[in-house]
Structure 1
Amino acid sequence: MILRPVLLAMTLISTPSLAAPPQTVAPYPATERGTVVDHPFGLAIPDPYRWLEGDVRTDAKVRAWVDGQSAFTEAYLATLPGRAAIKARLTELWDFEKFAVPQLRGQRLFYRRNSGLQNQYVLYVQDGSAAPRILIDPNPWSKDGATALAEWEASQDGRYVAYGVQEGGTDWRTYHLVEVATGKVLPDAVEWGKYSNISWKGDSSGFFYGRYAKPEGGHLFTAGTLDQRVYFHKVGTPQSADTLVYAASDRPKLTHGLQVSEDGRWLVILSTEDDVKTELVALDLAKPGAAPRILIPYGDHELQFAGSSGDTLFVVTTDGAPRKRIVALDGTAPGHPVSTPLIAEGPGTIDSASIVGGRFLIGTMEDAKSVVRRYALDGTAEGVVALPGIGTAAGFAENGDGPLTYYSFASYNRPTTIYRYDAATNASTIFKAPQTPFDPGQYQVEQIFYPSKDGTRIPMFVAHRKGLDLAAGAPTLLYGYGGFNISLTPSFSVAWLDWMEMGGVVAVANLRGGGEYGKAWHDAGKLDRKQNVFDDFIAAAETLVSSGITRKDKLVINGGSNGGLLVGAVTNQRPDLFVAAIPQVGVMDMIRFTNWTAGRFWTGDYGDPAKEADLTYNLAYSPYHTIRSGTAYPAILATTADTDDRVVPAHSFKYAAALQAADIGPKPHLIRIETRAGHGSGKPTSKAIEEYADILAFAAYWTGLAPPAK
């Protein structure tokens, strides 16, 4: 996530030349300090950098500030020893064939593949036993590789694929259609999709999707989005002919996820306005003229659609089960049908559920690791799916009544492998396995548990090269998130592998606020309990130090989005505990986050700053507002992107300006701003490698980790 304009002059202090590693920097580019002060509920809240909320694409003053900061940061990063070697090795490690979980439709198999260093994954199709062929290749769509293939879905008969185009990292989508047999892109174009998936009607005549009205006033990347509506697009017709299927205009904050059941009978719509409370709406597509009905009203429960059988819908719910259970309900019953318990809450948290070969495959998290359990449709337990080890399994999509499906498996020391699974025999076989330029067997992963400030037992994964000498403490990257019911299960990262190859340790803490242990775990880290998340992360760092795995002067903390907020807040609370901090695309202004794009969805976790109690609590930890002048801070590299319309870059702009203005010591406090990139999805490989090379070089320098030999 970086801009590279013309370099400006930068003065380095305490270094004999640009070739020497810089310990301090000065002066930073000048940033105008305004006089804005807000007075909600009788408080006085200064916001001196309010002007940095302007759109970088249209506001010349903000553009000039971004150019100056980017040049300054680039000049600093260029002095870091081993940056070129780290990038070169990262490129080598990245260069292996990668696959995503396939989708089987009729006799056609669809999957995404990257040959190694392609900027974007390519969509392939395989007709029966024929050789795979390219169906959609987004790599020629733009010179910089920043135009991506986003959501895609094949029709039930495999005749068409509907797909979204993501331009420069934005959340906005334009949907197109391709005829699979010929590879011809049809004239159909559907605009203004956002926060939506695509789901085909059972007869393959068209697809359902969610969209917003065309934005007005030139605020495409900053304005809030309200009144999402579900439409049906018929193949071969203009968007103006699309049929409105469902809207809740009296509740314009709702956004709608949608899914057509595998038998084509039901369109299920799951609606939420804060990612916490959910409503289930169903439309019986077998009944002409039928209207969508609310089957489960909006309430304090999380819902997932798990499949159907005739009139019966199966739903995963937290109602009465913090770790989730599965219930059945009659979609034809009047009113709000009474649900029947089917699969009770178990020892693990249900993460996914589908019906394959006439039985349920239930993905659960048990101490943040995947366990996949099998059940008959009447709820009878039928054992587990044997997995390759400790890691994360994902996929298991339905395929009509057929027993075959596909899933992925990965861990911190294991790149993603794709498996074909036969539900009839409960057997897995490798479909695609990566041939890597490294030996995954040279790395080890363990899970430890530690007490947080209030005694809560927190899990943490620790990964490093086998045989690594920890006697003196090793340079360590500590990563966390802790929010929105999102779980950090084992995954593979080329950047983390590069760090481990150099002799570093990767630690991932499963903080409260996530979904690792269900609703209660999530609830314990949100709203007026958000401090628990920060305490959990601080305790993780203290555990890594007290156990001898690392030392304070070798510890770097990192997180993105809500994890960027985590890093910013914890840095302000315990700046003595880390040598460096890297908050990525963080939510840094906890007073004004609802003013932009997706911010309104976050009130379920953060509260609503329009309410006095919520604002007062948020103000106590808001990274932008709680920087502690007069205290020595670690080195900080914040990252953001100019087209991030999920967490708008103003969060990081204001935060960086406040850091640079504060008396927090001589270590560098920098911001890295990417062009034509967003919150993360769709980022081209070339930009990802550049960003991670900078992050790893920054972390390696401040922890004393030796970069790879050239």
Structure 2
Amino acid sequence: MTAAAFSASAQTSGSTPARTPADPFQWMEEIEGAKPLAWARAENDRSLPVLQNDPRYKDLNDKALAIVNAKDRVPGVGFSGDGKLSNFWQDATHVRGVWRKTTLDSYRTADPVWETVLDVDALAKAEGKNWVYKGASCLSPDDRHCLVVLSDGGKDAMVYREFDSVTKTFVAGGFEAPEGKQNVTWLDKDTLLIAREWEPGTLTKSSYPYVLKVWKRGTPLAEAKEVFRGKVEDVMVTPFVLRDPDGKVQAAMVSRAVSFFETETYLLTDKGTVKLPFPLKSGIQGLVQGKLVFTLEQDWAEHGLKQGDLAAFDLAALKADPAKAHPTLILRPAANQAIEGTNITRNKLVVTLNEDVKGKALVFTPGADGWTSKPLDLPANATIGIGSASETDDRVWITVTNYLTPTTYWLADAATGKLETIKASPARFDASKHVVEQFFATSKDGTKVPYFVVRPKDLKYDGQAPTLLYAYGGFQVSLTPSYSGSVGKLWLERGGVYVVANIRGGGEYGPAWHQAGLESNRQKVYDDFFAVSEDLIARKITSPRRLGIMGGSNGGLLMGVALTQRPDLYNAVVVQVPLFDMLNYTSMGAGASWVGEYGDPAKPDERAWIAKYDPYSNLKAGQKYPRAFIETSTKDDRVHPAHARKAAARLKALGYDYLYYENIDGGHSAAANLNETARRNALEFTYLSQQLMD
């Protein structure tokens, strides 16, 4: 997902959704069929010259390439169990990327010395594959035994291959799980817990695994032993293992997602599985000093806990008698706050907290009388991110950024509160002429909706500023202030205004902010977006002629709704890897997993409220739609490319002008490597220039 991974909150339906009657473009749902691909290539051939022949395109593409391939980019690092720092790096030489390591002393210098662990470009060339690196899962405490995760072209279906990080080679005869949507974790160096499609019928209706097995080293994958089975109506089953800082297993567990926001948690024991008493809407965050930390997305009245709370169980007590164990409150955010992230060092719990979408960090310590906390003295009015935490001591990496300040990398000692700035990213555009402001728009139901405006200091309030408004509004994903070199260089420096709306559906104010826009309340998300748009116009920052919008995935759905409901507000709409055909979304890609977010079109009452905002069926003739730019990827196996294809085809059938770009690779990001990312950025900002600046 463009903004983040999809989630959902209510049980998926086992029913078969009713198809939209007589859909003339249903044939586009064959992802790599000859006819749909021929159509997509023809659309690319028609649309790309409109943008790439614009004299601005080359300059924008060159600048975007210079940013993504800049040699002075600061590499973010994580702690490795061998005492080194690990990093994944892409540049002009390593387009696919290289996994590498260095020491902290070397990292402190201006030119660290890196040791290559795995060169993905070389691997792809040697094997003739379009490999996209999706990370490596390494077994603590020494992180020698690793599972390298690779995707062909950026798909969510991935390959897992055992890798020795010391010899820097794939292990001959080691674990290798062929391509599939699968969830895998180490139990010990000779054992994996793995959920995947074992045979036809062992994927959920959402296209994820629900059967978990134990796989022993030296045995065929087919001989793995089943230890847990969910249901085909679930979203997925995922194993995870809790270890102490020395790598000793404290609990092996299973997450059974009955929907993306409703999860049952089970303990794996020698005698079978034991269901743990967590509410369905909760999430385990980790283990610190024997305390199992979790968040709540719903009230838990039995224990006096509230939606949005952070709490913990004593793990030993929970394992001994789940029914009698009692949790302890760690943190209850205020109404204008939300827990954004957590991480655990050897002895401490580090939490980032947003307050009106501005971050702070707190360190929590468990004790005999409960939990105590101390703040970390970090810059205000910024987004605070928690990076990798050490298991050998209490150090943790912290990032600090905002819209005009490049990311700085801090090394924090959670035990002492000591902070050290290690690296600061170079500026990619001149921010001295800009200012950031936060405003609140009033939505249709009276709710105050925050949004950020990044504008020139000398802005003339005459409604003529080319303005790009970005939003997401779903799955409890928060849009916090972040630095974007491409937005700065390709838009702000050229006189544009950039706006980010923190509409409902996101997580900016915790679970309640998300749940306020679920299912039958979905229109509130769109009303929030329109309220921000109208507020920008009322302030004379911009006008409908100069206002453009952009969003991806769930945000792409938002763009489709904006196009069909309020075309009078906008002159540019960038629709990135969208959901669009909402009356049929559960039958495409991973759509069935999102019923808790949107509702089930197989149920007549829910179909009725989906139909009110569904962009695909609400595209009508005779409207004053702006020329939209629709983007997708053939390799997107999360949000099916047919959503974008069908949107474009229907616009064409109705006689509207539009632009379309389908990347044949790239997965859900629509860009499989840095060069493709730069091209996509250049295409988007060329289009925005044509629509809003000309």
TM-score range, shorter chain: 0.7 to 0.9
Cα distance change of structure 1 residues 387 and 467 upon mapping to structure 2, 3 Å threshold: farther
Distance of 1:140 and 1:323 partners within structure 2 = 46
Q: Is 2:326 the counterpart of 1:334?
A: no
* Shift, 1:626, TM fit: 0.2
Q: Is 2:176 the counterpart of 1:190?
A: yes
- Counterpart contact for 1:193–1:211, Cα < 8 Å: no
What is the aligned counterpart of 1:151 among 135, 154, 161? 135
Distance of 1:670 and 1:214 partners within structure 2 = 41
Distance of 1:421 and 1:233 partners within structure 2 = 39
* Shift, 1:314, TM fit: 2.4
Unpaired segments ≥5 residues, structure 2: 2-15, 107-112, 300-305
Distance of 1:394 and 1:350 partners within structure 2 = 12
**Corresponding residue for residue 294 of structure 1:** 275
Amino acid at match of 1:277: E
**Corresponding residue for residue 408 of structure 2:** 417
Amino acid at match of 2:186: W
Amino acid at match of 1:358: N
Identity of aligned residues (%): 28
Cα distance change of structure 1 residues 149 and 204 upon mapping to structure 2, 3 Å threshold: same
* Shift, 1:535, TM fit: 0.5
**Corresponding residue for residue 111 of structure 1:** 87
What is the aligned counterpart of 1:88 among 33, 45, 62? 62
What is the aligned counterpart of 2:467 among 456, 470, 476? 476
* Shift, 1:88, TM fit: 1.5
Deviation per residue, 1:229-279 (Å, 9 max, x gap): 334455666534545443324755433263433443122333313212122
Q: Is 2:298 the counterpart of 1:319?
A: yes
SS in 2 for 1:648: coil
Name the stretch that deviates more: 422-431 or 161-170.
422-431
Name the stretch that deviates more: 433-442 or 527-536.
433-442
What is the aligned counterpart of 2:550 among 558, 570, 593? 558
What is the aligned counterpart of 1:587 among 579, 588, 597? 579
Distance of 1:466 and 1:521 partners within structure 2 = 32
What is the aligned counterpart of 1:304 among 284, 304, 308? 284
* Shift, 1:84, TM fit: 1.2
Q: Is 2:333 the counterpart of 1:346?
A: yes
- Counterpart contact for 2:553–2:578, Cα < 8 Å: yes
Distance of 2:433 and 2:200 partners within structure 1 = 51
* Shift, 1:487, TM fit: 1.1
**Corresponding residue for residue 368 of structure 1:** 357
SS in 1 for 2:391: coil
* Shift, 1:179, TM fit: 1.4
- Pairwise mapping of residues 160-559 of structure 1 onto structure 2 (< 5 A)? 160-187=145-172, 188-192=174-178, 198-201=184-187, 204-213=189-198, 224-234=206-216, 238-240=220-222, 242-249=224-231, 252-256=234-238, 258-263=240-245, 264-283=249-268, 289-296=270-277, 299=280, 301-310=281-290, 312-320=291-299, 321-329=306-314, 330-347=317-334, 348-378=337-367, 379-400=370-391, 402-439=393-430, 443-497=434-488, 498-559=490-551
Amino acid at match of 1:317: L
* Shift, 1:646, TM fit: 0.4
Q: How many residues align?
A: 652
Unpaired segments ≥5 residues, structure 1: 2-38, 706-710
Cα distance change of structure 1 residues 84 and 518 upon mapping to structure 2, 3 Å threshold: same
* Shift, 1:340, TM fit: 1.8
Deviation per residue, 1:75-112 (Å, 9 max, x gap): 32234341111112222233332423413314233222
SS in 2 for 1:620: helix
Deviation per residue, 1:137-171 (Å, 9 max, x gap): 21234469952110322221122222200111110
SS in 2 for 1:484: coil
- Counterpart contact for 1:148–1:165, Cα < 8 Å: yes
Name the stretch that deviates more: 540-549 or 328-337.
328-337
Amino acid at match of 1:393: I
Cα distance change of structure 1 residues 178 and 589 upon mapping to structure 2, 3 Å threshold: same
**Corresponding residue for residue 32 of structure 1:** none
What is the aligned counterpart of 2:617 among 625, 631, 648? 625
What's the C-alpha RMSD, in Å, of the aligned pairs?
3.0
Amino acid at match of 1:561: S
Deviation per residue, 1:527-550 (Å, 9 max, x gap): 000000111111111111111211
- Counterpart contact for 2:338–2:355, Cα < 8 Å: yes
Higher helix share: 2
Name the stretch that deviates more: 66-75 or 452-461.
66-75
Distance of 2:119 and 2:160 partners within structure 1 = 15
Cα distance change of structure 1 residues 237 and 101 upon mapping to structure 2, 3 Å threshold: farther
* Shift, 1:676, TM fit: 1.5
* Shift, 1:324, TM fit: 2.7
Cα distance change of structure 1 residues 172 and 60 upon mapping to structure 2, 3 Å threshold: same
**Corresponding residue for residue 38 of structure 2:** 64
Deviation per residue, 1:607-627 (Å, 9 max, x gap): 111111111111111111001
Distance of 1:545 and 1:561 partners within structure 2 = 26
* Shift, 1:383, TM fit: 2.3
- Pairwise mapping of residues 585-624 of structure 1 onto structure 2 (< 5 A)? 585-624=577-616
Distance of 2:355 and 2:179 partners within structure 1 = 36
Distance of 1:502 and 1:395 partners within structure 2 = 33
SS in 2 for 1:604: helix
Distance of 2:20 and 2:389 partners within structure 1 = 55
Cα distance change of structure 1 residues 126 and 209 upon mapping to structure 2, 3 Å threshold: farther
* Shift, 1:674, TM fit: 0.5
* Shift, 1:382, TM fit: 2.4
Amino acid at match of 2:503: L
Name the stretch that deviates more: 110-119 or 532-541.
110-119
- Counterpart contact for 1:274–1:600, Cα < 8 Å: no
- Counterpart contact for 1:118–1:139, Cα < 8 Å: yes
TM-score of the aligned structures, taking structure 1 as reference length: 0.85
- Counterpart contact for 1:452–1:536, Cα < 8 Å: yes
- Counterpart contact for 1:227–1:247, Cα < 8 Å: no
Cα distance change of structure 1 residues 385 and 537 upon mapping to structure 2, 3 Å threshold: same
Deviation per residue, 1:20-75 (Å, 9 max, x gap): xxxxxxxxxxxxxxxxxxx989x9844221122223x2x22222222221111123
- Counterpart contact for 2:360–2:380, Cα < 8 Å: no
- Counterpart contact for 1:199–1:260, Cα < 8 Å: no
